[in-house]
Amino acid sequence: MKLLQYNILDGCQDAGRFARLSAWISAQTYDIICFNELNGWSDDELQKQAEDWGFSYSWLFQMKKSRYFIGVVSKFPIEVIEQSETGWYHGLLHVRIHGVHLLIAHLSSASAKERQFEAKLIIKRLKKVELANEPLALIGDLNTLSPADNAIYESNQLVRQLVQDEFLNRKFLDNEEINYRPIQILLDAGLIDAAIHRDLPFQSSVPTLINKDKMHAAELRLDYALVNAILNERHPVARIICDEYTDMLSDHYPLECCWQNNYIDGTKDS
């Protein structure tokens, strides 16, 4: 199973950039693509575009409190479990595709303390799925930093860069130290970082060459695929797709996550 997570920057409204993005997606072989920032999109537009890309199914979460819509396209039917705005900076879309629960998130860009609250909401949902003993992945632009990358951030003197800007300070720091609590809460609950546990090197997901967000002031890993123990049995591996083409598609690089597929139509393969 091949999944892609992509924050496409303000709905990718620029015609030239969208043409490049669309051509790139069409050339890929993903089974599922999860999107952040489908700003300005409609259900019909996403479904039509999904079909053009080779996907039969789509779902768009058009939030009322945020213009940063969350969506997903898939080659398999999409079962929508829940879409929620209450307590979320943007929202959370919970779907089940081909036997796997996906929590598609775009966490708060305001502060780590807000993301700590959102992480606790994710844990409550995770416990519901764990009771069902089913595979799950948390996918998205989580807007937060991981303690697994601390050595890299220390060597890059990241705190020195962040502390100089009021907004970056509030987003990532607490008393002039990186606040890793949002990710740590998720890891402590049993989620596993698919980009780390296979001993892959550090890869930043921002900035790109068309960076337009001053909150991407340094090389940061903000996009994640965190899996539960059941999905981890399928040996998931996540990596950032960084090349001369994705340099110019968004202000985030896409995140790929692949795992062995043990289910067909909700039942185990033979």
Give the DSSP per-residue string, 109-127.
SS-HHHHHHHHHHHHHHHH
Query: Which of 74-83, 104-113, 188-197, 227-236 is predicted least confidently?
Result: 188-197
Cis peptide before 254 (omega within 30 of 0): no
Question: Considering the domain 2-109+133-142+192-268 in this protein, what is its CATH number?
Answer: 3.60.10.10
Residues 134, 99 contacting (CB under 8 angstroms): yes
Q: How far apart are CA 61 and CA 25, in angstroms?
A: 21
pLDDT tens readout for residues 238-252: 999 999 999 999 999
pLDDT tens readout for residues 23-51: 999 999 999 999 999 999 999 999 999 99
pLDDT tens readout for residues 189-243: 999 999 986 667 899 999 999 987 888 889 999 999 999 999 999 999 999 999 9
> Residues 176-188, buried b or exposed e (16+ Cβ, 10 A)?
eebbbbbbbbbbe
pTM for this structure?
A: 0.95
Sorted by where each begins, the domain ranges of the chain are 2-109+133-142+192-268
Q: What angle do CA 254, 70, 191 make, to 5 degrees?
A: 65
Give the mean pLDDT of the chain: 94
pLDDT at 266: 45
Of 147, 140, 153, the closest CA to residue 220 belongs to 153
Show the tokens assigned to 13.
Answer: 């409204």
Q: Are strands 136-141 and 173-174 parallel, antiparallel or unpaired?
A: unpaired
Radius of gyration for the chain, computed over Cα atoms and rounded to the nearest angstrom = 17
